[in-house]
Amino acid sequence: MTIGIGLLGLGTVGAGVAEILLTPQGRHPLVGQLALKRVAVRDLNRPRPVELPAEILCTDPQQVVNDPAVDIVVEVMGGLEPARSLILAAIAAGKPVVTANKAVIARYGEEIAAAAAEQGVYVLIEAAVGGGIPIIEPLKQSLGGNRIQRVSGIINGTTNYILSRMADEGAAYGDVLADAQRLGYAEADPAADVEGGDAADKIAILSGLAYGGAIERSAIPTEGINRLDACDVNYAAQLGYVVKLVATAQCLGSDADGTVQLDVRVSPTLLPKDHPLAGVHGVNNAILVEGDPVGRVMFYGPGAGAGPTASAVVADILNIAGIREATGNGGGLDPLLAANRWRPCRLVDQGQTLNRNYLRLQTGDQAGVIGRIGSCFGDEGVSIRSIVQFEASSERNDAEIVVITHEVQEDNFRRALASITALPDVKAVAACLRTL
């Protein structure tokens, strides 16, 4: 049984997918049953890394969706529109969709999932998070017996590359970013990466799968690495930590009506050097899932790039092809693969979350300042793990004091911080970061 594939887009990922479909030898035999039937490109005359018969190329993506020879629509064009409309059009035509589009899924995932459920078709998104790392499927299927406690990950390769170099070279953020842009590891407009938006898209998707309900993408507290100071990376290293941009989705309990309370966020985070995520370097990604009864499992690999992302897209195509072979052309949906929502979820107020914090204060180098800071924390019940005074700048008679707290409620920490800021010896709160 041949299964017709239609591609929306033939950029790096699209070309990678075409490359796999055109060279089935040595891959799972099901790949040999996939036939590329129609490909929408922006410009018919542009040179491409893969050679395709001219007659399957077209410039109107709607033609791909409508082509009766296309059984599965693969959206790898990116961007919000027309990608979203084309995904919905494919669903309306009763065709399963595979997409790598994290921005669309993070924003319109509910609309798309509802349409897919109504039409009884799959929309699979393995390539939307973690590039080639199988993470969507394990969350949907292999870990389904677990109560997931926390999903945390390094899911943006660009920022991890920048942070790795800042740590290795003691370099400043701006310098490494400029170099990363020159080398092609960061975009000309790096905002989505360095401000954390890309990671927020991805953790929104992972959270939805791990907990079975959507959260408001725009409400996810998101802090990027663009204001991170090299000296905090340096101090963290001296204290036994590595700074990473970590996205987390943690279950804090549930309301009386069963709504799951979630703390979902993206922030530069200190990880103890022996934490499984601390050893993830360069453009690699890793996702740590903590569940009951599985414990901690981690998925690691290349988080982007044509080959890895194409591997994930083809995984989804194969899943649809495999289940189609099992059901014939009829049948219902596999509820694991379809990943329907099954319970409401909501973001909790940040003040109620429990966190370990890293705080850097600029103070006058005066006797007693550590004691006064400690008292402010003590008054609010904030327990301190370590407090270290780093070398004062002799010209300015300034000292830098770094405090790491135990796990404390955010509201208490903020109140203590307000008292500390009001101390006459404290000149500035220079940095405030999360710690795992």
Could you tell me the smallest distance in angstroms from the CB atom of residue 123 to a second copy?
A: 15
CA distance 76 to 15: 10
Q: Which residues lie across from 40 on neighbouring strands?
A: 8, 58
Nearer to a second copy, 270 or 318 (CB): 318
- Least distance in angstroms from the C-beta of 292 to a second copy: 7
**Contact positions vs a second copy (CB under 8 A):** 16, 19-20, 26-31, 126, 132-134, 137-138, 141-147, 212, 276, 279, 291-302, 305-308, 310-312, 314-315, 317-319, 322-323, 325-328, 331-337, 342
| Residue that is written with structure tokens 């709607």 in the block | 62
Judged by beta carbon, residue 114 or residue 336, the one nearer a second copy is: 336
188: Cβ contacts below 8 Å, ≥ 6 apart: 181
What DSSP character marks residue 120?
A: T
Please spell the DSSP secondary structure of 312-334, one letter per residue: HHHHHHHHHHHHHHHHTT-----
- Could you tell me the smallest distance in angstroms from the CB atom of residue 139 to a second copy? 9
Measured from the CB atom, the residue of 166 and 314 that comes closer to a second copy is 314
258/371 with CB nearer a second copy: 258
**CA dihedral of 83, 84, 86, 87, whole degrees rounded to 10:** 110
Instruction: Indicate the residue among 330 and 371 with the shorter CB distance to a second copy.
Output: 330
User: Smallest distance, Å, CB 308 to a second copy?
Assistant: 5
**CA 419/CA 379 separation, integer angstroms:** 10
Least separation in angstroms between residue 94's CB and a second copy is: 16
Residues contacting residue 138 through CB under 8 Å, at least 6 positions apart = 289, 297, 299
**Closest-CA residue to 268 (of 256, 259, 277):** 277
Supply the DSSP symbol for 222: B
Residue 85 main-chain phi, psi, to 5 deg: -65, -35
Which of the residues 202, 244, 273, 427 is marked catalytic? 202
Q: Which residues contact 426 (CB under 8 A, 6 or more apart)?
A: 361, 362, 363, 369, 373, 420
Three-class DSSP category at 266: strand
- For the CA atoms of 252, 257, 258, 260, the dihedral, rounded to the nearest 10 degrees, stands at -40
Structural tokens at position 374: 């400690």
- Helices 173-183 and 157-169 pack at an angle, to 10 degrees, of 130
CA distance 47 to 51: 9
Q: Do residues 247 and 266 touch, judged by C-beta distance below 8 A?
A: yes
Query: Closest separation between CB of residue 338 and a second copy, Å?
Result: 9
95 is catalytic: no
Q: Quick one: 292 or 349, whose CB is closer to a second copy?
A: 292
The SS3 assignment for 187 reads coil
Min CB(315)–a second copy separation in Å? 4
Taking a C-beta distance cutoff of 8 angstroms, is the pair 233, 167 a contact?
yes
> Considering beta carbons, is residue 2 or 366 the nearer one to a second copy?
2
Cβ of residue 247: shortest distance to a second copy, in angstroms?
Answer: 18
The residue among 75 and 316 lying less far from a second copy, judged by its C-beta, is: 316
Helix 369-379 vs helix 410-422: crossing angle, to nearest 10: 140
Q: How far is the CB of 305 from a second copy (least distance, A)?
A: 8
Q: Tell me which DSSP letter residue 383 carries.
A: P
Tokens of 385: 């793990």
Catalytic residue numbers read: 202
